[in-house]
Amino acid sequence: MPPKKKVDATPSTMKELKDTLWKAADKLRGSMDASQYKDVILGLVFLKYVSDAFEERREQIKAELTAEGFDESQIADLLDDVDEYTGRGVFWVPAEARWPFLAENAKGLPAFDGAPPKSIGQLIDEAMDAVMTANPSLAATLPKLYNRDNVDQRRLGELLDLFNSARFTGQGATKARDLLGEVYEYFLEKFARAEGKRGGEFYTPAGVVRVLVEVLEPDHGRVYDPCCGSGGMFVQTEKFLESHNKEGSNISVYGQELNERTWRMAKMNLAIHGLNGNLASRWGDTFARDQHPDLQADFIMANPPFNIKDWARSESDPRWKFGVPPAGNANYAWIQHIISKLAPGGSAGVVMANGSMSSNSGGEGDIRAQLVEADLVSCMVALPTQLFRSTGIPVCLWFFAKDKSAGAVDRSGQVLFIDARNLGYMVDRAERALSDEDIARIANAYHSWRGSPSAVSSGLDYDDEPGFCKSATLAEIKAADYALTPGRYVGSAEIEDDGEPIEEKIERLKKELFEQFDESERLAAVVREQLGRVS
């Protein structure tokens, strides 16, 4: 029997972690579909992290107490002081939920002293329960599905063995949390691709989320997402704050999610990133039962499901201030719900199907006209195709502002149109992504237009750019029958003037073309002659 592989105690690099953990996911791929093994893997990733972080903090406490002259019995008592862990942002992990215990019993726990044997799945389920009980913020969050009939217990044990070589700690709590956060997001993206269309229910491409965040700059107050998926909007907000040297405590997170499993993923994702979010006590339909009825948010970001035909519609709903949305499409229901949640001075960014910009069916055109006349629409962005692997529907971004007079430039009575359809690069044959430069170009256009503090400090001034951006008045939009498609307003990009008069250029190009024709005929004659000699 080969010797057991020694566990590497050194911190994993990002590539090592991703490779190891995705290889682990493959262990279960053959026995269950993507949506099932997603929950299994993400739960174990989280459990491995909290255990690693707990053990690292435990060693730190031991070292600190030893340096202060405490004896072993005193150290043993203080090592179990829960506040020493939670006070440093580390979850308390009971003994039966710690990774070394689970790894040691990866093949299950045999019967002992009259107690029945336990499978590794049962031990993991009990570990999840223990962690949630010890940490109320994780209540009803972690998956308990490891002891089900459809989970191959042998493969699950092998999966734990693979996880032993993954280390989240050794670089400090913040670095470890960042490492875990990136791994978690990597897995969400991979699982979204694996699940195809259903993956879009919980994952919005990071580049699209970053455009929303960079345009809105949510650096304070209440941040809300009425269909939060796995919490990607909140995670990117936290990254934005970090990049601007601001604390995550500057914001309060509120969200709601319809799907139970996705809601649990979001709660786990927030916990991973150290965000205290109010995602309500349970999942639920935002239209049927708004779980934050009195919320007035400073920033709202959302990627609602597109073109929903079956939704909880009530014609008397007070949210329909600008008109009752049609029964066959919830796009304008989402838009009006979001506007109803905006605080005075608040702003919002929403991903929508392109049809929302010009549709007139079911009274949508009238609702759009009222939104424009109420001066709530601040910016429209047409995005390139193929950003969403889960859908071929072209998408756009709507931005709303309760007060367009704020900032160095008063933009009341105007809307900024940005045509970004030519931006991005192909990741592969099926998917496009936005580069950092693309995202910055869109955000800079908006901030220079608004005269935002970030634009003023960077010395950015706004000018219309044919083919890319245009500031249009409400009168111009009304003349276009309230269509909000950027291509109608930005026009065509200017052709660079090379100094050659157009008549001379045409004549020169004609001459060059005829010369090419003559050369082609000469070469064809040579080829015919050579072929004749061969025959």
- Residue spans per domain, the chain: 14-171, 202-490, 497-535
Distances (CA, A) of 26 to 12, 21, 164, 199, 314: 19, 9, 16, 18, 45
At residue 520, the pLDDT reads: 87
At residue 169, the pLDDT reads: 60
Closest listed residue to residue 362, CA positions, set 310, 327, 331: 327
Residues of the chain with pLDDT under 50: 1-11, 171-174, 197-200
φ and ψ at residue 339, rounded to 5 degrees: -65, -35
Give residues with Cβ within 8 angstroms of 284, minimum separation 6. 256, 258, 291
pTM: 0.80
Give residues with Cβ within 8 angstroms of 350, minimum separation 6. 300, 301, 302, 303, 304, 334, 335, 338, 397, 398, 399, 400
At residue 3, the pLDDT reads: 40
H or E stretch covering 46: helix 34-67
Residue with tokens 């969200």: 255
At residue 199, the pLDDT reads: 44
At residue 42, the pLDDT reads: 81
Helix, strand or coil for residue 312? Answer: coil
Distances (CA, A) of 398 to 79, 175, 318, 379: 52, 35, 22, 6
At residue 333, the pLDDT reads: 97
Give residues with Cβ within 8 angstroms of 242, minimum separation 6. 248
φ and ψ at residue 265, rounded to 5 degrees: -60, -45
> Which CATH superfamily hosts domain 14-171?
N6 adenine-specific DNA methyltransferase, N-terminal domain (1.20.1260.30)
At residue 493, the pLDDT reads: 67
At residue 328, the pLDDT reads: 93
At residue 180, the pLDDT reads: 63
CATH number of 202-490: 3.40.50.150
At residue 37, the pLDDT reads: 73
φ and ψ at residue 229, rounded to 5 degrees: 55, -130
Rounded to 5 degrees, what angle do the CA atoms 487, 489, 495 make? 75
Taking the C-alpha atoms of residue 470 and residue 447, their distance in angstroms, rounded to an integer, is 13
At residue 12, the pLDDT reads: 54
